[in-house]
Chain A
Amino acid sequence: MAQPVPFLEDFDAVLPGAGTGWLDRLRADAQEAFRKSGLPTPRTEAWKYTNLRRLARTGFVAAEANQTTEVTTVPEGIVALEDAYVAVFVNGRFAPSLSSLDGLSEGVEATSLAAKLSADRTSLEGQFSDVTDLPMATLNTGLLSDGLYLKLDDGVALDKPLHLVSIGTAGEEPVSFHPRHLIVAGAGSVATIVESHVGSGAYFSNSVSEVSVGDGAVLNHYKLQNEGPEAYHLAANLVRIADRAVYDNFVLQVGGNLARNEIRSELGERVECRLNGAYLACGEQHIDNTTFIDHAAPNSSSREVYKGVLDENARGVFQGKILVRQDSQKTDGHQLNKTLLLSPGTEIDTKPELEIYADDVQCSHGATTGELEEEPLFYLRARGIDPQTARGMLVAAFVGEALDEIQAEAPRAAFQAVVDDWLESRSERQG
């Protein structure tokens, strides 16, 4: 191929676990696939609204493995959790000195994926999903090196949330990293995982999280994307939810220059799957939320509420697809996407999608875009509240409806605080 392939061309680092047959093959096949596909372009339907041209031009180089030592404190902007296990990653590499995983109860394994791959060459064979239809995740597989490995044995309940903190850092030269997280929640286990993504400088985080929720397990999974203003953040979350399990997901995106969070979930029988989120963007930010819910078995329900607030010249993308397969009778699938546009430079592209092959189902989606409604605004003003305060209240209420979907109380309050900060800084900007 005449064109240089970004991210692979100059890559010569030795990856963890190299020399292991299955792993070498996995990486080599993925690299080959990415060489063929290259970065996705808007011609690809799934990337119609998110253009990676700027990312391609930036000329990222692979982040050095030893950069973890340069970061000595966890920066501000992460989810404020009082009491949690913390696993910190700097440029995709596990940073033990910043982490605190002591006191994990029996039946819980939380470690660095790199360590796991180096130490134990067989146990992860076959654990990584085939992601060939996701070019960026394929690139991630090709360079698979580190991330969180979390395993909960059957019936184990994690006593406090596990907080995954990803810190991106770059000096003069823009860097890229490709973390791979593997989360396996055994049958009947209960856990809350919170992710915070923060950083500074021009970096590109291209992560893949694979989540397996076992039979009857309850997994709360909440993520804050609060990357630095020059950051690119692409994340794919592949979630398999076994029978009778509950998966409660929430994604709040406020940071980054260009960010896309993609969730693909596959549902077993009698599953309750909740994918909710909010996105708040200003300046020239581009924020994309793409979700896919695959009702692969009968009697499951899915619920999705995504709310966005766009200001200045920000652009938002929401793509949400619900697939109900032929045998998935009694499916209940509902999706809602609402976006508030606060200024003339904003743009929202929404593509909700239903693909349904079973007849005994209740499925719906709804989408609205627009500015704040005049009626409530007048009502508030008619009670003496000045326009700016009134608008602030209505915007907060608008986002609040999505935050209310978070089932776990402490994280909900912590995410609320991030939203409040954003709204406050917005009203300050407006003076």
Chain B
Amino acid sequence: MSLIEIRDLHATVDGKEILKGIDLTIEAGEVHAIMGPNGSGKSTLSYVLAGRDGYEVTSGQVLFDGEDLLEMEADERARSGLFLAFQYPVEIPGVATTTFLKTAVNAVREHRGEGALDAMQFLKFVREKAGALNINDDMLRRALNVGFSGGEKKRNEVLQMAVLEPKFAVLDETDSGLDIDALKIVADGVNALRGAERGMLVITHYQRLLDYIVPDHVHILAGGKIIQSGDKTLALELEEKGYASFVGAEAA
């Protein structure tokens, strides 16, 4: 059984069809990258997988660990082990980052049948993970993402992935808005989470991120469809020739 299996997925936003038949299978332990020009449907795919309202699946199927993903609510998907690292993490004033993390971690743990962590256990647990990502206690005390720099927000996303320990993670343009140092920290964080049990889908516009998070497979998304798949060399080829040559070929 594959970790995730997307079959002929069509989806609309505000009545407009954005995804026009996506087929993609990811096995546990694999890292796939999806590259595509602006407006190709990359973010839509990530939101559809995460179950955001307003992204309507008109046909197709997604099996997650053999179960019908599309039947689940957004929070059920998360508790079942699907994680989306947001391109633009949301600022939530008034909610302390630790409070948020603790609520999320315990929701996921409870779902897995593991007991909830108490405040002390949790703090110890989160500090371990946070240290590696250069996240200090002060950042954890602050309101969620409020006043965080671009790099801090992305590191916070990776921290959440680390503490929630998902089976499958979608990283939506995690490189956007990062300078090279921040990119390295984030990529190291992600690489540390690679493992035989875990699958990842890395969505990006540029090849740069894939120098740091090296994928097993690369797919090119254009016009709501995957138009070409290959190994990591495809990304390099794309970088060299530009999207136009690929997309143009499809159009012709």
Contact surface of A with B, Cβ cutoff 8 Å: 374-376, 378-387, 389-390, 393-394, 396-401, 404
Residues of chain B with a CB closer than 8 A to A396's CB: 94
A385–B92 touching, CB < 8 Å = no
A384–B92 touching, CB < 8 Å = no
**Distance between Cα atoms of A100 and B43 in the complex (Å):** 64
Total number of residue pairs linking A and B with CB closer than 8 Å: 77
Within 8 A of A (CB), among B111-154: 111, 143
- Residue ID in chain A nearest B47 by CB atoms: A378
B92–A381 touching, CB < 8 Å = no
Please tell me which stretch of B28-36, B78-86, B186-194, B217-225 contacts chain A, meaning at least 4 of its Cβ atoms lie within 8 angstroms of it. Answer: B78-86
Within 8 A of A (CB), among B33-71: 50-53
From the candidates A384, A400, A401, name the one contacting B75 in the complex (CB within 8 A): A384
Residues of chain A with a CB closer than 8 A to B84's CB: 382
> Is B237 part of the contact surface with A, judged by Cβ < 8 Å?
no
B164–A384 touching, CB < 8 Å = yes
From the candidates B51, B89, B100, B111, name the one contacting A393 in the complex (CB within 8 A): B100
- Residue ID in chain B nearest A400 by CB atoms: B94
- Residue ID in chain B nearest A392 by CB atoms: B103
Distance of B76 from chain A, by nearest CB (Å): 8
Residues of chain B with a CB closer than 8 A to A381's CB: 51, 73-75, 78
Residues of chain A with a CB closer than 8 A to B104's CB: 380, 383-385
Among B50, B99, B100, chain A packs the most CB atoms within 10 A around the CB of B100
From the candidates B53, B93, B94, B164, name the one contacting A383 in the complex (CB within 8 A): B164
A379–B90 touching, CB < 8 Å = yes
- Residue ID in chain A nearest B99 by CB atoms: A393
A379–B86 touching, CB < 8 Å = yes
**Distance between Cα atoms of A389 and B102 in the complex (Å):** 12
> Is B204 part of the contact surface with A, judged by Cβ < 8 Å?
no
B160–A383 touching, CB < 8 Å = yes
Given contacts A374-B53, A384-B107, A385-B107, contact A397 B75 (CB under 8 A): no
Residues of chain A with a CB closer than 8 A to B50's CB: 378, 382
| A-B CB proximity, top 5 nearest | A397-B94, A384-B78, A383-B104, A381-B75, A381-B74
Question: Chain B interface: which size bin?
Answer: 20 to 34
Residues of chain A with a CB closer than 8 A to B100's CB: 380, 383, 393
A401–B74 touching, CB < 8 Å = no
B92–A397 touching, CB < 8 Å = yes
**Distance between Cα atoms of A393 and B75 in the complex (Å):** 15
Residues of chain A with a CB closer than 8 A to B235's CB: none
A398–B103 touching, CB < 8 Å = no
From the candidates A375, A378, A382, A393, name the one contacting B103 in the complex (CB within 8 A): A393
> Is B203 part of the contact surface with A, judged by Cβ < 8 Å?
no
Residues of chain A with a CB closer than 8 A to B143's CB: 397
Among A383, A384, A387, chain B packs the most CB atoms within 10 A around the CB of A384
**Distance between Cα atoms of A343 and B217 in the complex (Å):** 48
B78–A382 touching, CB < 8 Å = yes
Residues of chain A with a CB closer than 8 A to B107's CB: 383-386, 389
Distance of B99 from chain A, by nearest CB (Å): 8
Residues of chain A with a CB closer than 8 A to B83's CB: 382
Distance of A129 from chain B, by nearest CB (Å): 37
- Residue ID in chain A nearest B111 by CB atoms: A384
Residues of chain A with a CB closer than 8 A to B75's CB: 380-387, 390
**Distance between Cα atoms of A382 and B84 in the complex (Å):** 7
Among A374, A389, A393, chain B packs the most CB atoms within 10 A around the CB of A393
**Distance between Cα atoms of A246 and B190 in the complex (Å):** 50
> Is B13 part of the contact surface with A, judged by Cβ < 8 Å?
no
Residues of chain B with a CB closer than 8 A to A393's CB: 95, 99-100, 103
Among A380, A393, A396, chain B packs the most CB atoms within 10 A around the CB of A380
**Distance between Cα atoms of A386 and B75 in the complex (Å):** 6
**Distance between Cα atoms of A394 and B95 in the complex (Å):** 7
